[in-house]
Homo-oligomer: A and B are copies of this chain.
């Protein structure tokens, strides 16, 4: 138990130790990427467990996000509201490389274990903090969830149909853009530390990580009449490319986009409408944009008579950029992602047979890290507190009784 064999020595973060106070998605995704890259991630929860665990109350399946994001981590409990809990935490921090948290701003300071305290204990420490709006500024204390960040950051105002209400993106993009940036920030600070020997406070605000995704829309905003609608359904954000849409088929929907003229010529031939290529109404992207409704109608007249399978095969062989709109079930069974090892079927003791993802970060010539299920609550408390803090079994019993772990 004293060694950590999972960390194959040739994984990029082998030897790195992370104290993970992350909750729900943003923090845990950052430390998920660390664990999968070979770091020893010690997830620290209150004795009640982090809130994402309680989703099992809805149903077992709702635990899946927790299982996804906490794979290959170790789990301990520590009550940071007790002085002995904080003492043990400080002991862990003194020999760690990274502490990461996504509490509301100020929580760690109020507990007396904020950055200014921890850096004294460990000057090489990277302290990473993630919030919705940041740890400074007038909106710092705004209550931030993925939904509210999607609202304030402009995502909703540019998603959905032009004649419909603003619409959220279905997936939790603010949480995960936040989490990826958080991981990125920690790695950057580690690169710096290798040069300077010093730790750093790293900060990420979800609101800020979302902004760059608006790039195309910002271009259109500055370039066109600013009063024009920037909510364009499945059409191009600037209504500047045609065809660019999602079209109905016999048994589903397909996205088609013609970025270059040869894409359009290939599509026209595929549709058995070579006449369109020289038709002044459709001969250039500019003319197709002027006749966008008609262009889309022509394509849908064709796609609506085809099966998804036929459409996919035909557009692929003719090199027309296209993709089926896949259901979640199709995504989970995607042969390509399974072949590449991004997705894996596992038999989980509680969830049954489910798909778990690996890390999207791929490093050539590394050993494969075996997936280890997320820790049950407090699973590794004994091992970690014994190995890293010298807590005896007798003391552990006492700590449990006192509610410290």
- Using a CB–CB distance below 8 Å, which chain A residues touch chain B? 12-13, 15-16, 25, 29, 32-33, 37, 55, 58-65, 68-69, 115, 133-134, 136-139, 142-145, 147-161, 164-173, 175-177, 180-181, 183-185, 187-192, 194-195, 200-205, 207-224, 226, 230-234, 237-238, 240, 244, 246, 248, 253-255, 257, 259, 316, 319-332, 334-337, 339-340, 342-343, 351, 354-355, 357, 360-365
Cα-based distance from A133 to B203 in the complex (angstroms): 31
The reply to whether A171 and B217 contact each other, CB–CB distance below 8 Å, is yes
Q: A219-B65, A223-B64 are in contact. Are A167 and B156 (CB under 8 A)?
A: no
Are B361 and A202 within 8 A (Cβ)? yes
Is B360 within 8 A of A223, CB to CB?
no
Give the distance to chain B from A204, nearest Cβ to Cβ, in Å: 6
A360 touches B209 (CB 8 A): yes
- Are B324 and A152 neighbours in the complex by a CB distance under 8 Å? yes
Chain B: CB-nearest residue to A214: B171
Q: Which residues of B contact A362 (CB under 8 A)?
A: 134, 185, 202-205
A246 to B155, CA, bound (A): 13
Supply 29 A–B pairs (Cβ within 8 Å), ascending by A: A12-B188, A61-B221, A69-B215, A134-B340, A137-B336, A138-B336, A139-B336, A145-B321, A151-B325, A152-B324, A152-B331, A156-B234, A159-B171, A167-B246, A170-B230, A173-B213, A176-B215, A177-B177, A177-B180, A180-B181, A194-B195, A203-B363, A205-B362, A207-B336, A208-B340, A212-B357, A212-B360, A214-B331, A230-B328
Contact of A61 among B177, B211, B219 (CB under 8 A): B219
Query: A interface, by DSSP: helix, strand, loop or mixed?
Result: mixed
Is B58 touching A240 in the complex (CB atoms < 8 A)?
yes
- Residues of chain B contacted by A15 (CB below 8 angstroms): 195
Rounded to whole angstroms, the CA-CA distance of A246 and B171 in the bound complex is 16
The complex places the Cα of A149 from the Cα of B326 at a distance, in Å, of 10
Contact in complex: A323, B149 (CB < 8 Å): yes
In angstroms, how far is the closest chain B Cβ from the Cβ of A146? 9
Q: A188-B12, A224-B59, A259-B145 are in contact. Are A337 and B208 (CB under 8 A)?
A: yes
A166 surroundings in chain B (CB, below 8 A): 234, 246, 253, 325
Is B139's CB under 8 angstroms from A220's CB? no
